[in-house]
Amino acid sequence: MNAEEEAIGEREYMYRCLVRHVIKMRIKDRDGVYRWLNGYVDSTRRWKKGWNDLHPESNLEKDVRDQWNKGNRGEHHDWRE
């Protein structure tokens, strides 16, 4: 267990890691992240649900946007208050 995880708890630590990972994905492929979050039609023309469809209670997209606007670019342990 690292210092960040000890300070905030395992669940919150994992969530922050997910936010950072999505930020890194956004840097590499912004359209791909949009599809991952919101869903897309695959090559067989079937709808694939995105994160927001599968987890409607989640604030992931909002938190990614918030962290991005605060200057977080997905670096290890980076979290902006």
pLDDT in tens, 15-62: 999 999 999 999 999 999 999 999 999 999 999 999 999 999 999 999
- The reply to whether 47 falls in a domain is yes
- Residue 48, H or E segment: strand 47-48
Cα 75-79-80 angle, rounded to 5 deg: 120
- The reply to whether 81 falls in a domain is no
Residue 1 has pLDDT above 90, yes or no: no
- The reply to whether 16 falls in a domain is yes
Total domains present in the chain: 1
- The reply to whether 11 falls in a domain is yes
- The reply to whether 30 falls in a domain is yes
Domain span at 43: 3-69
- The reply to whether 43 falls in a domain is yes
Indicate the DSSP class of residue 55. -
- The reply to whether 53 falls in a domain is yes
Residue entry with tokens 């709808």: 47
Q: How far is CA 71 from CA 16, 65, 75, in A?
A: 15, 10, 10
Average pLDDT of the residues in 67-79: 97
| Helices (H), ranges, the chain | 3-8, 10-28, 30-38, 51-54, 60-69
